[in-house]
């Protein structure tokens, strides 16, 4: 299948890893962002085993493809130079482990690390919904909210490499408890998992007892996907929960727009697969809450185009800078 492409650009192929808390996926990616092959494995909860898994997958792929470099999209905080994994609660790397240098030595190939949201954003910037956007924000809505700000082709990291954490802006003082330890964070109101909380709140109003979703919500058996599926099926409780989610998402986007004044916001992450159900409402809420509403341009809000492969495509592209053809900022 990939033979012709492989022959055309064999020296240019890189591998992009998407390392999540449960699964690790790796893709062989061309300079045009095309994924030729994908491997996956369970993510080991031991640091040495995780490194061994990465090396094994790369060696398997090298047996078939001429691989020039490797990129790793990581769900966690990195140092600003993208050398060290500082904090990744769902991965076994601890104590400022120098992951990039260790893997580069083990593989004998150039290695690039990047935060997972930044990787997906880079993928959208190079090959997806944000090509050539000058000042734009990627908003990854899934279990939580991850975000990236890009300005004139560079990823903005802040002084300590943690910017921007829009998901943990306090939008309801004293509100829902967040996994970060604070209360009332945006991601407790506008993430995939928050759909369940929105449904619980609506269910307690007593108006939705006849809905198919109601019993599941009351019995604490509903997932965010269940709520989204119910909304798609027209269930009144599902639609009410989704409306609440869309309202909060729109308010969050208005804060983003007020602070950063981007021309474009791209909604990615798992929830974006159902963007047709909520994006118009979120846009409307953003437009109504932005400062100077009606007297200024508002950012365009688009759905991401690369889907769940955005991270591996983006970090595979970023890995090319290690070959001396710099495209990123680390
Ligand atoms: Zn939080």
For ligand 1, an ion, list residues with CB under 5 A. Answer: 168, 178, 180, 182, 185
pLDDT of residue 86: 86
Q: Which residues of the chain have pLDDT under 70?
A: 1-11, 324-330
Taking the chain, what is the end-to-end CA distance rounded to the nearest angstrom?
Answer: 34
pLDDT of residue 199: 96
Ligand 1 centroid to 170 CA: how many Å? 8
Q: 3-state SS of the chain: helix, strand, coil percent to 5?
A: 40, 20, 35
pLDDT of residue 11: 57
Ligand 1 centroid to 76 CA: how many Å? 14
pTM: 0.91
Q: Shortest CA distance to 103 belongs to which of 59, 153, 161, 43? A: 59
Ligand 1 centroid to 113 CA: how many Å? 24
- 328 contact partners, CB below 8 Å, separation of at least 6: 112, 114, 122, 155, 318, 321
């Amino acid at each position: 299948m990939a033979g012709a492409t492989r022959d055309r650009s064999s020296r240019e192929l890189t591998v992009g890893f998407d390392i999540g808390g449960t699964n690790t996926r790796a893709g062989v990616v061309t300079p045009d962002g095309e994924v030729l092959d994908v491997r996956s494995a369970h993510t080991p909860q031991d640091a040495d085993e995780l490194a061994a898994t990465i090396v094994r997958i790369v060696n398997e792929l090298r047996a078939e493809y001429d691989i020039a470099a490797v990129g790793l999209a990581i769900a966690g905080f990195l140092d600003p130079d993208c050398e060290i994994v500082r904090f990744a609660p769902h991965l076994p790397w601890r104590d400022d482990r120098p992951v990039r240098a260790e893997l580069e030595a083990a593989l004998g190939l150039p290695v690039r690390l990047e935060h997972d949201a930044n990787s997906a954003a880079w993928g959208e910037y190079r090959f997806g919904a944000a090509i050539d956007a000058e000042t734009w924000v990627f908003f990854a809505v899934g279990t939580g909210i991850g975000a990236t700000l890009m300005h004139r082709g560079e990823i903005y990291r802040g002084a300590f490499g943690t910017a921007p954490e829009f998901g943990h802006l306090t939008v309801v003082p004293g509100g829902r408890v967040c996994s970060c330890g604070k209360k009332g964070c945006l991601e407790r109101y506008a993430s995939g998992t928050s759909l369940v909380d929105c449904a619980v709140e609506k269910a307690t109003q007593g108006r939705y007892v006849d809905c198919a979703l109601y019993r599941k919500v009351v019995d604490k058996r509903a997932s965010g996907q269940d709520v989204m599926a119910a909304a798609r099926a027209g269930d009144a409780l599902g639609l009410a929960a989704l409306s609440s989610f869309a309202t909060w998402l729109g308010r969050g986007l208005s804060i983003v727009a007020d602070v950063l004044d981007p021309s474009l916001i791209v909604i990615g992450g798992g929830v974006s697969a159902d963007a047709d159900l909520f994006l118009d409402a979120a846009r409307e809420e953003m437009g109504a809450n932005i400062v100077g509403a009606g007297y200024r341009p508002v950012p365009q809000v688009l759905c991401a185009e690369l889907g769940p492969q955005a991270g591996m495509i983006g970090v595979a592209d970023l890995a090319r800078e290690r070959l001396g053809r710099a495209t990123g900022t680390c």
